[in-house]
Each structure stands twice: as structure tokens, then as C-alpha cells.
Amino acid sequence: MVLRRFLLVALSVAGLAGCGFPAGAPFQAEILAEAGAENPTFDVVEVSRANLARVATWPSTGWAGQYSWLTAGGGGPTNVIRAGDEVSLAIWDSQENSLLTPPNAKSTVMNGMIVSPGGTIFVPYVGEVVINGLTPMDARQVVQREIERIAPSAQVQLTTLAGESNSVDLVRGVMRPGRVQMPSRNYTILSLISEGGGIDTRLRNPLVRLIRDGRSYEIRADDLFADPSRNIAMRGGDKVIVDEDKRFFVAAGATGDRLVEFDREHITAMEALSMAGGLAENRADPQGILILRDYPAEAVRADGKAGPKRAQVVFTVDLTTADGLFAAREFQVNPGDLVMVTESRMVSVAQAIDLASAGLLVRNRLQ
């Protein structure tokens, strides 16, 4: 009878241990065990205020490190005449028998003159006048001086309309992509996106990309909308693409395992933990936050100053100290990083106690 009760208790406890408790997250010591070996394959770097400046100089991983964008007015002249533009002249001349005005008229209008590939327009009795690259005001003064040679009393008014060569392409990421004719030289990128029906609402964390003169510029849509100085004027031949920001980091361990998308340009270690769901009070080890990162081989430096000593680095974060907390608010998580929240040793102790208590409860019921 005693043997029977012993076997029942043993089987009950074994069943609870086999199916009642999850394996849990790894412990910090388990992951860092190799760091003390003679030839470790990775480096361990503490995230502290003393190390922040040094690590910040290391090459970025997973992306360029920041997005590059133009400021308003920073993309070159936006209000100049170019080949393909349409120019109209209105000329007033009070002189009798003027060469420029019809009989019994004091003015004439010349509409629809297209700026040639050489940057000129043809004015009767004057010839070719170069106006390419000039603002409308400067172009008017040039035409005025040329006309004064044959009609000293003439006055000139000049207006322009952007030509077909001054269109821009909305490639994708808006409700109505396509080629858009710029109505003026001050046509901005927000006006262009609005013309395309706005950013496609199905895009998560949209990123606006501008291709101009063979170079690519990028900015998160939220930042573009929030800062008026980013609302740049468009130029003929520009291409605008709106895509999802595909950057992410991996959260694992006591927070659960998931991919977390970047919802802003830069994310700190503290923000990453919050985005991953925070630290479970009864599981996570606040002294055992690990950030695993791969650097390219060319970034490795023997002295560990301008780059890491090894291509694989484990950054350790201790949130139980003021220094660790301040440093975690500044340390940048890179795309592709693995943010591991290790498990507290107290979890295993608690599980062992629960298991023993369950065994005792079964034994008491059998007695």
C-alpha cells in the first residue's frame, strides 16, 4: 500500500513537471558563459554612460544610421526658367509707328513662346534672347534691355508657365500614382502627395523617398508632415516613392518573441523594451537585458575604439542602477538587433516551490 501511494505521488509530480510549466527564457549567465572562454567568439560591452560616446562612433548596422533629406530651398533654385517652359510677353510702346505694336495700338501680346533646348526665346526684330536659368524678374530685365535697343520707350511684362519637361512622377505609395505637371516653380512635395490622393492608408510606418539628379533622399512621413522646413519645392524630373519603413528589431526572452517595427527614425534601448511589451514583473531579470548585434568584418578594430573588437557583440543593460537607466535612454537600437530579456533566477525557484507544493498536495490527498 505504501509503495502504491509512493508511485502515484511520483507519477503525479512527473506529469506536472512534464506538461505544466513552460521552459521559460534563458538566463543571462547561460548566454554569456562563453565570454569567459580563452577564445570567445563575441565581445561583451556594458551599456553605461562611460561607454556611450565610444560606441556611438562605431559603424551603424542594418541601415545608414540616419535618413538624409533636403530642407526647403536646399534643393537648388526652384523659381528659374528652364527649357520647355512657356513664356508670354506683353509689350507697351507709346512711340508712333512702333515696330513692336500693331498700327493704331500701343501694346502687343506674344503668348506661348516655348523656351528652346538652348534656353532661348525668339522676339521679333530682336532675335534669340537667352533666359534659361533666370528668374522671371531677371528674364524680364534681359528682354527689356534687348527691346530698348530698337524701341527705347517700350515696357515689357513677362510671365511663365512650367513646361512639360517640368513634371514629376509619383511612382507608388499614394492613392493615385502617376505623372504630375507642376503648376508653378513653388510646387511642394506635400502639394504633390495631396494631388496623388494622399499616402496609401494601408502602408504602415510610411517612408517618403525622393530621387533627384541620381541621388536618393528619405524621410519618415510623420517627420515630413510635422516640420514645415522639410516641405521642399519640387523640380522637373523628380521621382517620389512612398514605401513602408521595413526596419525592425527582434524582441525575445521574457517579453515573448516577436518582430517589432521601427515607428520612428531612432529607437533607444528603453524605448525598445517598452515597444516589446515591457518587463514582466514575475519573470524578467532587470539586470539581464542583452542586445545582440552583428557588425561587418571591416568594422572590427583591435583596440575596440573606432569599432568593436569582434564582429559579434553582446551589449548588457542593467536597469537596477541609475547609470544603466540613463544609458538605456541614450543607447541606440539598430535594425536587425536582437533585444533579449533574460529570465530571473527567482522564476526557477518559484516554479520548484510550486512543483513541490503540488506533489505534497497530491500525497496528502492519497493518505
Nearest to 208 by CA among 191, 181, 190, 186: 190
Nearest to 316 by CA among 339, 343, 344, 345: 339
pLDDT tens readout for residues 248-296: 999 999 988 999 999 999 999 999 999 999 988 778 999 999 999 999 9
Assess contact for 301 and 283: CB atoms under 8 A. no
User: Are 302 and 282 part of one and the same domain?
Assistant: yes
Final residue of a structural domain among 209, 244, 279: 244
pLDDT value of residue 177: 97
Structural domain that includes position 108: 86-161
Whether residue 253 lies inside any domain: the answer is yes
Final residue of a structural domain among 226, 244, 262: 244
Average pLDDT over residues 157-171: 85
pLDDT value of residue 6: 34
Average pLDDT over residues 151-173: 88
pLDDT tens readout for residues 98-107: 888 888 888 9
Final residue of a structural domain among 224, 244, 264: 244
Helix (H) or strand (E) holding 140: helix 136-148
The number of domains in the chain is 3
Q: How far, in Å, are 159, 177, 180, 196 from residue 164 at the CA level?
A: 16, 18, 10, 18
Nearest to 182 by CA among 78, 49, 290: 78
User: Are 332 and 259 part of one and the same domain?
Assistant: yes
CATH of the domain at 171: 3.10.560.10
Assess contact for 18 and 358: CB atoms under 8 A. no
The b/e string for 240-271 (b: 16+ C-beta within 10 A; e otherwise) is: bbbbebebbbebbbbbeeeebebeebebbbbb
Whether residue 175 lies inside any domain: the answer is yes
Q: Which amino acid is at 151?
A: A
Q: How far, in Å, are 56, 90, 119, 147, 190 from residue 116 at the CA level?
A: 52, 20, 5, 19, 30
- Give residues with Cβ within 8 angstroms of 10, minimum separation 6: none
User: Are 185 and 239 part of one and the same domain?
Assistant: yes
Whether residue 303 lies inside any domain: the answer is yes
3-state secondary structure of 34: helix
User: Are 212 and 265 part of one and the same domain?
Assistant: no
Average pLDDT over residues 149-156: 92
Number of alpha carbons in the 13 Å side-chain half-sphere of residue 346: 9
